[in-house]
C-alpha cells in the first residue's frame, strides 16, 4: 500500500495514528506531497484525488481511497477486528457521530481559521485556500468561536466518559486529538479551565500509537517545527 501525505499535518496524522494502532506501519510506503508548494492542487495530484486533499491510500490493485474516515474504516477492518470504528451497530453509530462532531466542531473550523485568520502555509497555497474578500476576517473569527464552543462541548462529554464514543479509544478521539494539535498551530488553544478535555488529551498523548514518533503523528511541538 501507498499513502500520499505529509508528516506533521493533521489529517495525515490521523491515518498515521491508525496505522500505528493497527500495527500496519511496515506495510505502507509513504509518498510525500508538497503542501506548501500546493502540489495537491495541481493536475497530477488531482488525477489521484479530485478533491485535492491528503491523505490518499493507494491499494496494490490501484484502488485509490481518499478521506480520512474512509481510509480509517478500510485499515481498521483489514484484520476483521475493528477496534477504532466500532463492532456493533450501536458502537459504529456512536463512533461516526462523535467523529463527525470532532471534525465539525473543532478540526474543520480550525482549518478555516488557520487559512483565513493567519498567514497559513504561505502564498502558493493561500491562493487556493483563502482568496481575499471583504468578509475574510469576520469568517475567520466566526470559525474561531465555533472551535471555542467545540472545546466546551467536548469538555462536557469527557466529564462523563473516558473517550468520546464511550469506554474505548476510537477514530473520533484520533480526530479530536489532531484537531487540538492543529489548534495549537493556529493559535487556538484549549483554555486552562477545561480540565476534562485537557486530562483526556494528556491520556491520549501517552497511548503508544500516538506517542510513538516513528508514526510522525502531529503533536503540539510540531507547530514550532513547522514554523507556525
What pLDDT score does 7 carry?
85
Q: What percentage of the chain has pLDDT greater than the value 90?
A: 73
Question: Does residue 121 have a pLDDT over 80?
Answer: no
Question: Does residue 145 have a pLDDT over 70?
Answer: yes
pLDDT, the chain, mean: 88
User: Which residues face 57 on adjacent strands?
Assistant: 3, 65
Cβ atoms of 87 and 31 closer than 8 Å: no
Residue found under cell 466529564:
159
Q: Which one, of 74, 9, 57, 3, lies nearest residue 217 by Cα? A: 9
SS3 per residue for the chain? CEEEECCCCHHHHHHHHHHHHHCCHHHCEEEECCCCCCHHHCHHHHCCCCCCCCCEEECCCCCEEECHHHHHHHHHHCCCCCCCCCCCHHHHHHHHHHHHHHHHHHHHHHHHHHHHHCCCCCHHHHHHHCCCCCCHHHHHHHHHHHHHHHHHHHHHHCCCCCECCECCCCHHHHHHHHHHHHHHHHCCCCCCCCHHHHHHHHHHHCCHHHHCHHHCCCCCCHHHHCCC
Cβ atoms of 54 and 14 closer than 8 Å: no
Rounded Cα distance between 171 and 168, Å, is 10
Q: Which three cell numbers stand for residue 1?
A: 500500500
Average pLDDT over residues 107-134: 73
Task: Say what the alpha-carbon torsion angle 118, 122, 123, 124 is, to the nearest 10 degrees.
Answer: -140
Residues 6+ apart with CB under 8 A from 168: 83
Average pLDDT over residues 66-93: 97
pTM: 0.89
What pLDDT score does 130 carry?
56
Question: Does residue 142 have a pLDDT over 80?
Answer: yes
What pLDDT score does 212 carry?
67
What pLDDT score does 216 carry?
46
Average pLDDT over residues 197-209: 96
Is the N-terminal amide bond of 55 cis, ω within 30° of 0? yes
> 49-63, 81-95, 111-125, 199-213: which has the minimum mean pLDDT?
111-125
Q: Which residue segments constitute the domains of the chain, with CATH numbers given?
A: 2-77 (3.40.30.10), 89-214 (1.20.1050.10)
Question: Residue 132: which pLDDT band, with cuts at 50, 70 and 90?
Answer: low
CA 181 to chain CA mean position, Å: 9
Amino acid at each position: 500500500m501507498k499513502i500520499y501525505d505529509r508528516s506533521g499535518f493533521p489529517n495525515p496524522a490521523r491515518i498515521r495514528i491508525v496505522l500505528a494502532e493497527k500495527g500496519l506501519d511496515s506495510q505502507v510506503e509513504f509518498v510525500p506531497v508538497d503542501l506548501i508548494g500546493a502540489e495537491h492542487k495541481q493536475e497530477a495530484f488531482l488525477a489521484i484525488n479530485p478533491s485535492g486533499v491528503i491523505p490518499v491510500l493507494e491499494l496494490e490493485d490501484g484502488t485509490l481511497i481518499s478521506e480520512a474516515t474512509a481510509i480509517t474504516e478500510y485499515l481498521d477492518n483489514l484484520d476483521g477486528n475493528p477496534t477504532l470504528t466500532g463492532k456493533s451497530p450501536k458502537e459504529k453509530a456512536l463512533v461516526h457521530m462523535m467523529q463527525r462532531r470532532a471534525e465539525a466542531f473543532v478540526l474543520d473550523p480550525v482549518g478555516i481559521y488557520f487559512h483565513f485568520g493567519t498567514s497559513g502555509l504561505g502564498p502558493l497555497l493561500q491562493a487556493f485556500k483563502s482568496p481575499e474578500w471583504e468578509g475574510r476576517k469576520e469568517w475567520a473569527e466566526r470559525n474561531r468561536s465555533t472551535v471555542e464552543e467545540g472545546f466546551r462541548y467536548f469538555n462536557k462529554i469527557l466529564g462523563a466518559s473516558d473517550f468520546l464514543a464511550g469506554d474505548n479509544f476510537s477514530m473520533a478521539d484520533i480526530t479530536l486529538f489532531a484537531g487540538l494539535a492543529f489548534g495549537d498551530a493556529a493559535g487556538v488553544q484549549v483554555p486552562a479551565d477545561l480540565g476534562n478535555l485537557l486530562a483526556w488529551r494528556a491520556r491520549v498523548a501517552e497511548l503508544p500509537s500516538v506517542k510513538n514518533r516513528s508514526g510522525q503523528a502531529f503533536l503540539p511541538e510540531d507547530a514550532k517545527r513547522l514554523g507556525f
